[in-house]
Amino acid sequence: MTLPRQGITIKNEVNSVKIILADQSHKEQITILITQLQEQVGLSPSSEAVQESLERLMAQGTPILVALGEKGDVAGVLSLQLRYTLFHSGISALIVDLVVAPSYQGVGVGKSLIEAAVQAAQARKCAVIEVCTAAENRKALAFYSRQGFNQCGLFLEKQLD
């Protein structure tokens, strides 16, 4: 991913947010955000499982973007999976996780993370950037629509034991 080591600053109508690639120093804060999300949707959170997944994703080079708050804390996180697809005849990007800390919601952090993900996907010559969210999550659907995403299909999931 072509994100400078010092990160990028995304300026929008609300504020400016520094976006960087996550590293080991962000692991604990990312884990907290993800487990909070898991609780909200009724899953049984496991900090250990989240940290293991985070380690694997980082080792694979999966872009995990973090938005830093004014104090250097993690205000939000976004993971971006890049994959080749037959349908798009090239690389497509999928926003898998997007979580913004409650104290930073509504001030442009999510929008800034999306903008950085779009820039990263464009730099990688992706044909498309996609996002998946729960069909009943009207707030998220409205947010993604405001960011220029259109509903064009249905993403189904089957839990495997």
**Structure confidence at residue 156 (pLDDT):** 79
Residues in the chain: 161
Q: In the chain, where are the structural domains located?
A: 8-146
**Structure confidence at residue 36 (pLDDT):** 92
Q: What is the gyration radius of the CA atoms in the chain, in angstroms?
A: 15
Contact 114, 99 (CB under 8 A): no
**Structure confidence at residue 15 (pLDDT):** 61
Task: State the CATH architecture for 8-146.
Answer: 3-Layer(aba) Sandwich (3.40)
Is residue 52 packed enough to be buried (19+ CB in 10 Å), middle (13-18) or exposed (0-12)? exposed
**Structure confidence at residue 155 (pLDDT):** 80
Strand (E) or helix (H) holding 33: helix 27-40
Q: What is the mean pLDDT of each run of 10 residues along the chain (161 residues)?
A: 53 68 93 92 90 93 90 92 89 94 91 92 93 88 94 83 74
> Is 143 in a helix, a strand, or coil?
helix
**Structure confidence at residue 40 (pLDDT):** 87
Contact 57, 79 (CB under 8 A): yes
**Structure confidence at residue 1 (pLDDT):** 44
**Structure confidence at residue 11 (pLDDT):** 57
